[in-house]
Amino acid sequence: MKSYEKLLENNKSWARESIEKDPEFFNRLKNTQTPEYLWIGCSDSRVPPDSITGTLPGEIFIHRNIANMVVNTDLNMLSVLQYSVEVLKVKHIIVCGHYGCGGVKAAMTNSSLGIIDKWLRNIKDVHRFNREEVDAIENEDEKIDRMIELNVKEQVMNLSKTSIVQRAWKNSNAPDIHGWVYGLNNGLIKPIFELKAGTHIDPLYEYDNL
Ligand code: CO
């Protein structure tokens, strides 16, 4: 059997077992989804949102990219954000990074890696905003881990700077935004930062005509 064929076999078993456990499972999901959460995570194969949070199909709306970034010109991310906030009305947005993130590591080197340089440059900005703190850490792994936490925090802030989130905060006092970091070594998620709906952000970024 070719390796990818195994996936199709697994899929058949999964579908069968899902129905055995809950005969209405697919019937309930086929026409509608009402997820409470938007997840913005890293593409890393070791951080699968459903498995690590014990959630089922229908529970999390997911966007993933390298190093769980919220880049304000990223039409893909913005479309996911708008749809999940304005149509699905998610109650929580979770930005989940992970320790040992290769994207953050790469952004802390001076190697050019091709087109991904342009993406990673957004992480270099996070380093620049926090230069004193990050550069004072001598241990290389600890330095990267701290950058991973600071990057998650920055992406949470970036969400709050969007008119999509600010309008939702004003109109429906939701969603709350959470910054988490997952440990590859122990499987545990560490909450590190939170912005409750309606939090006042830097006035430079606050729109007053939404
Ligand atoms: Co990563």
Entry pTM:
0.96
Summarize the confidence of residues 126-147 as an average pLDDT.
Answer: 97
Find the 147 Cα to ligand 1 centroid distance in Å.
12
Domain 36-205: give its CATH superfamily.
Carbonic anhydrase (3.40.1050.10)
Which residues hold their Cβ within 5 A of ligand 1, which is an ion?
Answer: 42, 44, 101, 103
Summarize the confidence of residues 57-86 as an average pLDDT.
Answer: 98
pLDDT band at 55 (very low <50, low <70, confident <90, very high): very high
Summarize the confidence of residues 81-100 as an average pLDDT.
Answer: 98
pLDDT band at 1 (very low <50, low <70, confident <90, very high): confident
**Cβ of 17: how many Cβ atoms within 10 Å?**
11
Listed residue (62, 67, 64, 76) closest to 97, CA to CA: 67
Which position among 28, 46, 121, 131 bears the catalytic label? 46
**Cβ of 117: how many Cβ atoms within 10 Å?**
13
The average confidence (pLDDT) of the chain is 97
Query: Structural domain boundaries of the chain?
Result: 1-32, 36-205
